[in-house]
Structure 1
Amino acid sequence: MKYLSRHLLAILLGAFALGTQAQAEDFRVGFVNTDRIFREANTAKTAQAKLEQEFSKREKDLNDLGNTLKNASDKFEREAPTLSESQRAQRQKQLVDQDRDFQRKRREFQEDLNSRKNEELQQVLERANRVVKQVAEAEKYDVVLQEAVYINPKHDITDKVIKALNSAK
Structure 2
Amino acid sequence: MQTGTFFKRVVGVVALTGALVAGAAQAQEARIAAVNSDRILRESSAAKAAQLKLEAEFAKRDKDLQDMASRLKTLSDQLDKNAASLSPTDRASKQSQLSNLDTEFQRKQREFREDLNQRRNEELAAVLDRANKVIKQIAEQQHYDLIVQEAVYVSPRIDITDQVLKALAASSPSATN
With normalisation by structure 1, the TM-score equals 0.87
One-letter amino acid of the counterpart of residue 163, structure 2? K
User: Does residue 51 of structure 2 align to residue 48 of structure 1?
Assistant: yes
Aligned pair partner of 1:135 in 116, 135, 138: 138
Inter-partner Cα distance in structure 2 for 1:105 and 1:122? 25
Distance 1:9 1:70, change over 3 A: farther
Inter-partner Cα distance in structure 2 for 1:88 and 1:16? 92
Aligned residues with identical type, % of pairs: 49
**Secondary structure of the corresponding residue to residue 157 of structure 2:** helix
User: Does residue 32 of structure 2 align to residue 29 of structure 1?
Assistant: yes
1:14 Cα offset (Å): 3.4
Deviations 1:114-167 (A, max 9, x none): 111111111111111000000111111111111111111111101101101101
Gaps of 5+ in 2: none
1:11 Cα offset (Å): 5.2
Inter-partner Cα distance in structure 2 for 1:8 and 1:46? 65
Distance 1:12 1:110, change over 3 A: farther
Gaps of 5+ in 1: none
- How many residue pairs get aligned? The number is 166
Task: Give the CA RMSD over aligned residues.
Answer: 2.3
One-letter amino acid of the counterpart of residue 18, structure 1? A
Alignment of 1:56-71 (within 5 A): 56-71=59-74
1:84 alignment counterpart: 87
132-141 or 8-17, larger mean C-alpha shift: 8-17
Inter-partner Cα distance in structure 2 for 1:63 and 1:45? 24
Inter-partner Cα distance in structure 2 for 1:150 and 1:101? 47
Alignment of 1:95-110 (within 5 A): 95-110=98-113
1:123 alignment counterpart: 126
Inter-partner Cα distance in structure 1 for 2:169 and 2:86? 63
One-letter amino acid of the counterpart of residue 152, structure 1? S
One-letter amino acid of the counterpart of residue 40, structure 2? I
With normalisation by structure 2, the TM-score equals 0.84
96-105 or 84-93, larger mean C-alpha shift: 84-93
Inter-partner Cα distance in structure 2 for 1:11 and 1:23? 18
1:18 alignment counterpart: 22
2:77 alignment counterpart: 74
1:72 Cα offset (Å): 0.7
Distance 1:94 1:29, change over 3 A: same
